[in-house]
Structure 1
């Protein structure tokens, strides 16, 4: 079912790509767009994970460079019945994380230095378990390919505006049509991303909480990450908004309520679902049990002085 959903998504985005090509260059433009879309799909399948990791300057770490982090990922992957993914760290002050890779055998989990510095061990376990749930569900293929193609659609729409906006004959769109292409093309791609991402976040929260064994660890982490994301900008994400849906919490500034135009469900709704799961599993559903603080916890085992914390922070 995950592969079928991926195929449907790719077909929809490819059709949008061709439609924009047709509006820009007629039948010839549509055929060129089809060829480009096919090449983009193929390239994204094999290379989109590398592109995303490179975009965020992520560097791979091992047991020597980050023993505690890698050991935690290994333990949680074992609980989830997954192969050991590669582990990456992004030098970014905003606490956040994402998973990528075309399948569980080629998966990677990436966390920011801000995440390592701001979360307790239990909260970090909740976040990593959430990302491993995405791997388990094969969401990582869907997310990375969607990000790549959505970015290509935005570039094509901008191309249509700059190179087709001054033509009023039958060979291309006029100025008004070009403006509509530039706005509606990326917007449609964004809506497809968001519709998929929001559903998958709830599913990953649920499975991730089961992998970690305590839903409120993830709930606590979501509160802390959400608060920091509003204060600490993620410059790379702002420059590449098509990848925002990959993160555990929306890394972009200025997002609104839980509606069709957000990449993620509201944190309040996610916490409510995790509290319900905690009750079902017989765990405490009280947020007071996970020691939530408004800012970085000074007692966090990941927030030690740089000399003792390791090269990832």
Structure 2
């Protein structure tokens, strides 16, 4: 029954997303027509004092070109994602295949992935590592379970205990199980299409190699103004769809691992990294919503971040407010004190039992 219920919810979310996208495209068409009409009026009034009106089929052509760029961009990006698959997208985000035979932490990750596949009743997805990312993060992607990929950063392998790594992997498995990864792949194509008008305006407004600007600069600026609304609407839509799915994946991770401290420790350590000012690697805004935690900053972060605040996610897991926690792994032993670190008043024969705190 849970499987059928999840399928019904996935279909309902897809219909809602498609409806919101079509409404956004309609508003974008109206904005483009208004911006181009204003740009045409300003440009024509500058050269000819007497207005002669708009060219024939002015608004029809504007509408057709806008739809061509938005829907065409959506189709092109979705086709590319469909053809390349989840592993291609993961490699595009800096991930490489897991190497369990050459690294203990990657060997441990492989075992945890097998355990979570059994706990979730899923086929084991392809597991990858983002080796150059020292922050704690992860993502899952794929059109379905057969195409699924789970990628974990090097920082997560270095700083998380086994229990915490289980919570992290379980969270990503939940996204695959609930169909969120397929929805996220569609979102990438939709947002890319909504950004096409802004990209076209930017191209028209930019100077050439000699620094000269064409007469189409007013047109380009008008398209950028209208396209920015499409860009903003696309990312707000992306964030609104993703936030609630993060809460569900957090709850599912606790259900599968039977531990709040697993995923809770992950989120609290990410919180500590942010307080310590760790700079996260720059990530394409199109794929921010795939990550366990995003790195949106600035005044618009509250609107555009596809993830709920860390404090809120931690509070929901524990049922009370909890603060950040250190990055040390509980399964690591503190280093043994060297003879030089032992006070002179302690006999050398007793120094071997001392540990640095």
- Fold equivalence (TM over 0.5): yes
Kept after mapping to 1: 8 A contact 2:205/2:218: yes
Write out per-residue CA displacement over residues 282-307 of structure 1, whole angstroms, 9 at most, x where no aligned residue: xxx8969xxx733x205555999xxx
Report what 2:138 is aligned to: 97
Kept after mapping to 2: 8 A contact 1:161/1:182: no
Report what 2:107 is aligned to: 67
- Does 2:92 correspond to 1:55? yes
Report what 1:248 is aligned to: 292
Number of equivalences: 287
Aligned equivalent of 1:179, options 195, 217, 224: 224
C-alpha distance in structure 2 between counterparts of 1:4 and 1:96, whole Å: 29
Kept after mapping to 1: 8 A contact 2:201/2:220: no
The offset of 1:199, in angstroms, is: 0.5
Q: Relative to 1, partners in 2 of residues 1:27 and 1:186: Cα closer, same or farther, differing over 3 Å?
A: closer
The offset of 1:149, in angstroms, is: 3.3
> 3-state SS of the aligned residue for 1:146?
helix
Larger Rg: 2
Q: Which deviates the most, 177-186 or 100-109?
A: 177-186
Q: Relative to 1, partners in 2 of residues 1:303 and 1:6: Cα closer, same or farther, differing over 3 Å?
A: farther
Report what 1:279 is aligned to: none
> 3-state SS of the aligned residue for 2:64?
helix
TM-score by length of 1: 0.78
| Unmatched 5+ stretches in structure 2 | 1-8, 37-60, 207-212, 336-357
Aligned equivalent of 1:77, options 105, 117, 122: 117
Q: Relative to 1, partners in 2 of residues 1:177 and 1:88: Cα closer, same or farther, differing over 3 Å?
A: same
> 3-state SS of the aligned residue for 1:82?
coil
Kept after mapping to 2: 8 A contact 1:63/1:71: no
> 3-state SS of the aligned residue for 2:194?
helix
The offset of 1:109, in angstroms, is: 0.6
C-alpha distance in structure 1 between counterparts of 2:98 and 2:334, whole Å: 18
Report what 2:280 is aligned to: 234
Kept after mapping to 1: 8 A contact 2:81/2:89: no
Q: Relative to 1, partners in 2 of residues 1:152 and 1:210: Cα closer, same or farther, differing over 3 Å?
A: same
TM-score by length of 2: 0.69
Report what 2:195 is aligned to: 154
> 3-state SS of the aligned residue for 2:303?
coil
Report what 2:10 is aligned to: 2
Superposition RMSD in Å = 3.4
Report what 1:37 is aligned to: 74
| Unmatched 5+ stretches in structure 1 | 277-284, 305-313
Report what 2:256 is aligned to: 211
Write out per-residue CA displacement over residues 227-272 of structure 1, whole angstroms, 9 at most, x where no aligned residue: 22452223341xx122111111113445788x43432111111112
- Does 2:128 correspond to 1:128? no
The offset of 1:181, in angstroms, is: 2.0
Write out per-residue CA displacement over residues 170-216 of structure 1, whole angstroms, 9 at most, x where no aligned residue: xx984663232232111100011110111000000001111111122
- Does 2:251 correspond to 1:220? no
- Does 2:160 correspond to 1:114? no
Kept after mapping to 2: 8 A contact 1:167/1:174: no
Report what 1:275 is aligned to: 318
> 3-state SS of the aligned residue for 2:295?
coil
C-alpha distance in structure 1 between counterparts of 2:321 and 2:151, whole Å: 29
Kept after mapping to 1: 8 A contact 2:29/2:66: yes
Write out per-residue CA displacement over residues 15-68 of structure 1, whole angstroms, 9 at most, x where no aligned residue: 645765783751431452334433433433443624431222211115434321
